[in-house]
Amino acid sequence: MSSLKTNIFFKISMIIVIALLLLIPATMIRSLVRERENTQEDAIKEVSSKWSEEQTLSGPFLSVPFYRYVKEFSKTDSTEKIVRMKEYIHFLPTNLNMTGKIFPEKRTRGIYEIVVYNSTFTISGIFQKVKFTDLEIPLKDILFDKAFVSLGINDLRGIEKQIVLSWNNDSCLFNSGTVSYDVVESGINAPVTISSGDSSSYKFSFNMTLKGSQKLFFTPVGEITDISTSSTWNNPSFNGAFLPDTRTVNDSGFSANWNILHLNRNFPQRWVGNKFETSSSSFGIDLLLPVDSYQKTTRSVKYALLFICFTFIVFFFVEVLNKIFIHPVQYILVGIALVIFFTLLLSISEHVTFNMAYIISGVSTLLLIAGYIKAILKSTLLTSLISGILFFLYSFIFVIIQLQDYALLIGSIGLFIILCLAMYFSRKIDWYNLKLGEGNIP
């Protein structure tokens, strides 16, 4: 037993086994982080389901029904008959202008905050030169009196007030639902009056108040689409197919403007049926809270092996260079303290900022390990040395987590320096004749 105690290779094997076993709770902590993330997402969905979901405004677009006649053969008696089918011609506006304001609010569910919003928009534009003769559809089969304008809205619960459409010199109310599902599946529609003339143009405008959660997106259906928004939210994220042409973000809020041409998207200004899909060109604003504590905690846990291995290497070199003996149980207790650090980080970061949670968790763990080292080694010098090295390690990992773009570069350089130091301090050790000491230093 005494030979095993002083055998350097047995000690190295024990350290490796302990380090690998400690990866099991570290993996469990990663699962715990994902579970807490899912809980946060469930809270967001619950509040959104009661307020209104994420919104995407698609349109408006003009749809005109027509009859198409097709031949149909009967399989039973081989007879032929003509079947009349109703289809729709969809026209997109020549010019589309949207100007609006977004009024965000914070709601809470348990310990989680969720962003919802109210918004007001003025939408106007023109359908210019609505042509029918080049569609190869007889004018007698086009139902001009059944034409309607549609506006796609993801969640109709977000509509706050009745919407009145101004169509040339006429006014009409929007109705709930969509007449045709060719372009959008959820929205509102309003009947309009059009003529069969090839050079007819129609001006439209309406105001709307819409509420939603987290995101507000738009679909650029105009030949020229111009959208301007502003808000008191000072941390927006602009996502989707297009970024703003101009934007201003400061402490008082943001303003943004998009100007998009029909050449920038992959669908035309007019088509029949459901040939084209428009949602892939949507863009807009994400009002999610800047809460990245779970992501940063996950990145921290990925360095658990580095924490454990580097700490154990320091302990091992202290044993070798100072002829002392640290029991495997003491390695295990220190390793558990290192793992508990990540649990503290996760739980505290749900209530304060990640940086503050990291400082609190890191200082607490360092004080715990330093006190334990002082008790087992009874050396102020070694305690200070090991504590300083661990402080450097925690600081190094903190810097890597903050530097997303340069994390790999800084991490690689840091690991290279650590390896250089380990090789330097072990360069004169005779590993074949080395035996560990059998007692702590006084």
pLDDT of residue 141: 84
pLDDT of residue 248: 93
pLDDT of residue 355: 85
pLDDT of residue 77: 65
DSSP secondary structure of 374-429: HHHH--HHHHHHHHHHHHHHHHHHHHHHH-TTTHHHHHHHHHHHHHHHHHHHTTT-
- How far is Cα 148 from Cα 63, in angstroms, rounded to an integer? 6
DSSP secondary structure of 66-123: EEEEEEEE-TTT--EEEEEEEEEEEE--SEEEEEEEEEEEEEEETTEEEEEEEEEEEE
Question: Burial, 290: exposed, middle or buried (Cβ in 10 Å; 0-12, 13-18, 19+)?
Answer: exposed
For residues 80 and 17, is the Cβ–Cβ distance under 8 A? no
pLDDT of residue 75: 66
- How far is Cα 105 from Cα 214, in angstroms, rounded to an integer? 10
pLDDT < 70 positions in the chain = 1-7, 74-78, 197-199, 290-292, 404-405, 428-442
Question: Burial, 293: exposed, middle or buried (Cβ in 10 Å; 0-12, 13-18, 19+)?
Answer: buried
pTM score = 0.73
The count of other CB atoms within 10 Å of the CB of residue 61 is 26
pLDDT of residue 102: 93
